[in-house]
Amino acid sequence: MAVRNRLLLALALVTLAMYFWGLGSTPLLSFNEARRAVPVREMLASGDWLIPTLNGQLYISKPPLLYWLAAIPATLFGSTAEWVVRLPSAISAMLVTWLTFLAVRRRFGEIPAVLAVLILATSAGFTMFGRSAEIEMLLTLCCFGSVLAAAEYIFGGQRKHWLNVAFLCLGLGLLTKGPVTLLFYVPPLLMFWWRYRENAALECLTHWRGWLLAMVVGGSWYLLVSLQLGWDVWKEVIKTDIAGKVGHTKSDPLWQYPSWLLVDFLPWCLLALAAPVRNFRRWVSAPPGGFFLLAALVPLVIFSLFADKHAKYLLPTYPAWAVLLALAAADLHGRCSSAARRVFHAVVALLVAGFLVYYAVGQTHALAHRFQALPKIATAVASHPDVAVYGWKDIDPRVVYALGKPVPVLDPKELEARLAKGEALQLLVEDSVPPTLQGRLCRLAVFEPYLKSGRKALLLGSGAACG
């Protein structure tokens, strides 16, 4: 018992370090991180928690649950620092990891449960999004939470409260990223019922009170926004955020998702690939294994049919893949000699240590090109405190976050009008000075690299800014 308790304590410390250690030591690393952090700051500044904005403009392409959850600690701590806006993702990753542990231990035993935790904690994609101010990890908690609740209902005595939990999670998923949440719940359960003829799976799909709960929780924000802004406000969201991704003119190749999964789950996936037939038979031999196989595989097939593909879209399936790989690893572990097990344990310890070292010190240096220009831009802009700063045609939200205020974007006509009036301004231009502006604005500063290797930005000025 003492050994078991020490192992669980060590696992808890590993996952705490993996998701929380140095959470704010690295500035925002991506366009998407900034698209989540800036609305939080503007929500707190405006006091409007219903209608999100990004750089002062309406931004409702994503529901606001992540913003709300980040705004709570931001209010408590009086800060929208990186670690604050990343906190919901880190907490979600921790919850997903240990909910997976509890579910696997209940259905498959202690060793697979421990291995499932280690697999998630050493999955590059999972830990990266667990440490990012992005939507995907919160969505994973909602989607996989609904799947686990359905599993508890089907295999745990069909207690009704698990149905309510499943649909509450679906409702929260709708408040996180919209209808895409349903793709991780409805198709896998339908396929599970078709394969195993478990009528309880149909109950998980036809529970009308559950659907009512999900619609009330998940649809309330959409209704309130529609009442305030009108129903037409959703036309552009549907066109660009849904239809555009499903029917994009250029389709990404079908093999992209499988290749991303293989990379993210190295080296664990090699254990499953070493004996694929044996592992597949093990997974499908009993309904619980088949349940997690379908929870992982069905969304993979569906999302592979979409034209627009991104690795993060499959993140809600990562816990199910971790369960399957844990079963394969546990099977191999049980058949190994004592010496082979010691090697196995040493490799796992080195893998965990490698991830911890990377997130503690390596990530900041490896990805410095993504953010090192931002404090320089903030300093350069602040040197002319009375001169307004603008973006030229577009501006990266990371710059908006670094400057701490909205940065209006000028099109050519607006800029011409301001220059004609002799207005003093600062203009941030990406890559190079447009030909129409050559010689008309002074160059205040150059920033290179700017957000990626080989890219630069220029701060131009007019009027008093050039003095």
Q: What is the pLDDT of residues 271-308, one digit of tens each?
A: 888 888 888 988 988 999 999 999 999 999 999 999 88
- Provide the pLDDT for residue 249: 55
Q: What would the mean pLDDT of 63-87 be, rounded to a whole number?
A: 96
Q: What would the mean pLDDT of 395-405 be, rounded to a whole number?
A: 95
pLDDT in tens, 21-41: 999 999 999 999 999 999 999
Closest CA to 300 of 277, 322, 316: 316
b/e burial code for range 207-227 (CB count within 10 A of at least 16 → b): beebeebbbebbeebbeebee
- Quick check: 439 pLDDT over 60? yes
Taking the mean position of all CA atoms in its chain, how far away is CA 391?
27
Closest CA to 31 of 452, 412, 382, 433: 452
- Provide the pLDDT for residue 266: 92
Q: What would the mean pLDDT of 175-186 be, rounded to a whole number?
A: 96
Q: How confident is the model at residue 1 (pLDDT cuts 50, 70, 90)?
A: low
370 or 247: which leads in pLDDT: 370
Query: Domains of the chain: which residue ranges?
Result: 2-366, 370-466
- Provide the pLDDT for residue 336: 85
DSSP assignment of 384-430 equals: STTS-EEEESB--HHHHHHHTS---EE-HHHHHHHHHTT--EEEEEE
- Provide the pLDDT for residue 243: 56
- Provide the pLDDT for residue 168: 98
Contact call for residues 165 and 149 (beta carbons, < 8 A): yes
- Provide the pLDDT for residue 189: 98
Q: How confident is the model at residue 393 (pLDDT cuts 50, 70, 90)?
A: confident
Question: Where are the extended beta strands (E) located within 124-181?
Answer: none
Mean pLDDT of the chain: 92
- Distance, in Å, from the CA atom of 114 to the CA atom of 15, rounded to the nearest integer, reads 12
Percent share of the chain, pLDDT over 70: 97
- Provide the pLDDT for residue 138: 98
Q: Which residues contact 209 (CB under 8 A, 6 or more apart)?
A: 163, 164
Q: Of the spans 108-122, 243-257, 266-280, which averages the highest pLDDT?
A: 108-122
Half-sphere exposure of 435 (CA within 13 A, CB side): 0
- Distance, in Å, from the CA atom of 25 to the CA atom of 360, rounded to the nearest integer, reads 8
250 or 31: which leads in pLDDT: 31
pLDDT in tens, 79-91: 999 999 999 999 9
DSSP assignment of 299-354 equals: HHHHHHTSSS--GGGGGGGHHHHHHHHHHHHHHHHHHS-HHHHHHHHHHHHHHHHH
pLDDT in tens, 331-382: 988 888 889 899 998 999 999 999 999 998 899 999 999 999 999 999 999 9
Contact call for residues 57 and 128 (beta carbons, < 8 A): no
